[in-house]
Amino acid sequence: MHIYFSGIGGVGLGPLAEIALDAGYNVSGSDANDSPMFRQLRSRGAEVHLGQEVATINQLHANQPINWLVYTAALPENHPELEFARANGIKTSKRDELLAQIIKEKNLKLIAISGTHGKTTTTAMVVWLFHQLGLPVSYSIGSSITFGPSGAFDASSEYFVYECDEFDRNFLNFHPFISLIASQSYDHNDTYPTQSDYDEAFEQFKSQSQTIITWKEVSADGIKLLGEHNRSNGALAIAAIEKIIDEPHEKLVELLNKFPGTSRRFEKLANNLYSDYAHHPEEIEATLQLAHELFSSVVVVYQPHQNIRQHQITYGNCFDGAEKIYWLPTYLSREDPSLNILSPQELTKDLPGEKVVISNMGDVLKKSIETEIQNGKLVILMGAGQIDEWARNQFTSFSTN
């Protein structure tokens, strides 16, 4: 089967493309932007192209007919590649329908990790434990990891470990053998207009699962990872392993305590400079709690994510652990054009004024970050948009002695 991925370099489709390659499918695709994932897939033999022109997909289809086009949620319905696929009778879907098909075809048991927060880390922890125990596993994680690719298929594996996202109701495509439910609170109001809609989707997901383990059911005693949320996620990962194999609990805790972490989850970029994906009040509070286990003085550089989300979010006391907050304009993605874009001043009006510095990504902010670090502060760059990429470009060689 020839599968074409439109948006192949992204964190959603990239790991799935790697899985498809491992599973023996013919993989090709395109992306509007270059990325490490894009280059990695090219190095592995996938025929990938920068730019998304109809002429390119037409030539690929002529050389070897495309059977299935998988596209990202960000792709507009009138995108040229989607229109080409429909005009040529090519099956189209988002990623989860294809993954569900692969799991079914390969007769794998699904260990699904869902919840509002903690999905990526918990998924990576489960995969880490499989690897440390020498057990074959297939998996997909929505972030880079240091101990393997983001997605992999092992023909000898019995289980597939998957970060099962609730956005766009993706997780309802699956019927897991085991479901781990990490911390849960209302999110994705563009998919779920009300809290009730959100909760009902989770209840449906649970009803489709053979076994359910929630973070409230497990104990983190013995686990020595930094951060209360990481210890809770780790307890979930251990509970999943204990459901499928007989290993001493103490051994699993010992292995988990060596977990190296994932990209963008309190990831160290330089001395006293960290990057974190947090963009929701509960995530912000949890990351600051972790930071204070290391350091007493913490400064945050925060880029809010999606204007549509900002109309629903109440930040409350989640920034209490920050000594100062450099607040950036909101990163815009999948927006409702009827909503006015909330300014940094509007979003911070209920926060202590002496803490907030309205800022922009640029030389002034870079200088401010360098000064904070030189003054002995721990600086955390938070957000799911451009803030991480900007920081990596600015501080690649920066360190303090």
pLDDT in tens, 141-165: 988 888 998 899 999 999 999 999 9
The mean pLDDT of 267-272, rounded to a whole number, is 94
Nearest to 273 by CA among 240, 244, 295: 295
In a domain, 183, yes or no: yes
Looking at 93, 120, 138, the residue that finishes a domain is 93
pLDDT of residue 401 exceeding 60: no
- Give the pLDDT confidence of 182-201 residue by residue, as tens digits: 988 888 888 899 999 999 99
Q: Are residues 126 and 154 in the same domain?
A: yes
Number of domains in the chain: 3
- What band does 399 get if pLDDT is binned at 50, 70 and 90? very low
* Residue 316 backbone phi and psi in degrees, to 5: 55, -125
The mean pLDDT of 204-209, rounded to a whole number, is 97
In degrees, rounded to 5, the angle at the alpha carbon of residue 274 between the alpha carbons of residues 272 and 275 is 165
H/E run at residue 201? helix 195-207
Query: Which two tokens mark 339?
Result: 């909503």
**CATH number of domain containing 28:** 3.40.50.720
Contacts of 54 (CB under 8 A, 6+ apart): 80, 81, 84
Provide the domain limits for residue 22.
Answer: 2-93
- Give the pLDDT confidence of 216-251 residue by residue, as tens digits: 899 999 899 999 999 999 999 999 999 999 999 999
Q: In whole angstroms, how large is the CA radius of gyration of the chain?
A: 21
The pLDDT assigned to 246 comes to 96
In a domain, 308, yes or no: yes
Percent of the chain with pLDDT over 70: 99
Determine the 3-state secondary structure of 362 from DSSP: coil
The pLDDT assigned to 36 comes to 84
pLDDT of residue 129 exceeding 50: yes
Q: Are residues 241 and 208 in the same domain?
A: yes
In a domain, 375, yes or no: yes
Neighbours of 196 (CB within 10 A): 10
In a domain, 101, yes or no: no
Amino acid in the structure at residue 124: A
Q: Are residues 213 and 129 in the same domain?
A: yes
The pLDDT assigned to 397 comes to 58
> Counting Cβ atoms within 10 Å, is residue 374 exposed (0-12), middle (13-18) or buried (19+)?
exposed
As a whole number of angstroms, the distance between CA 303 and CA 262 comes to 20
- Give the pLDDT confidence of 106-120 residue by residue, as tens digits: 999 999 999 998 999
The pLDDT assigned to 400 comes to 39
**CATH number of domain containing 121:** 3.40.1190.10
**CATH number of domain containing 378:** 3.90.190.20
- Give the pLDDT confidence of 319-344 residue by residue, as tens digits: 999 999 999 999 998 889 999 999 99
Amino acid in the structure at residue 307: N
Percent of the chain with pLDDT over 90: 86
**195-204 LR contacts (CB < 8 Å, sep 24+):** 198/166, 201/166, 201/169, 201/171, 201/172, 202/114, 202/166, 204/172
Q: Are residues 67 and 112 in the same domain?
A: no
> DSSP code of 336?
-
Q: Are residues 152 and 194 in the same domain?
A: yes
SS3 assignment for 275-306: EECCCCHHHHHHHHHHHHHHCCCEEEEECCEC
Query: Which two tokens mark 186?
Result: 């209302």
Q: Are residues 234 and 288 in the same domain?
A: no
Segments of 158-218 assigned E as strands: 159-163, 178-181, 211-214
The pLDDT assigned to 398 comes to 53
In a domain, 322, yes or no: yes
Q: Are residues 346 and 214 in the same domain?
A: no
In a domain, 401, yes or no: no
- What band does 11 get if pLDDT is binned at 50, 70 and 90? confident
In a domain, 302, yes or no: yes
Q: Are residues 281 and 390 in the same domain?
A: yes
Residue with tokens 């002529």: 62
The pTM score is 0.84
> What residues pair up with 267 in beta bridges, in sequence order?
275
Q: Are residues 72 and 194 in the same domain?
A: no
Q: Are residues 118 and 195 in the same domain?
A: yes
Q: Are residues 38 and 140 in the same domain?
A: no
- What band does 138 get if pLDDT is binned at 50, 70 and 90? very high
Q: Are residues 166 and 246 in the same domain?
A: yes
Q: What is the mean pLDDT of the chain?
A: 94
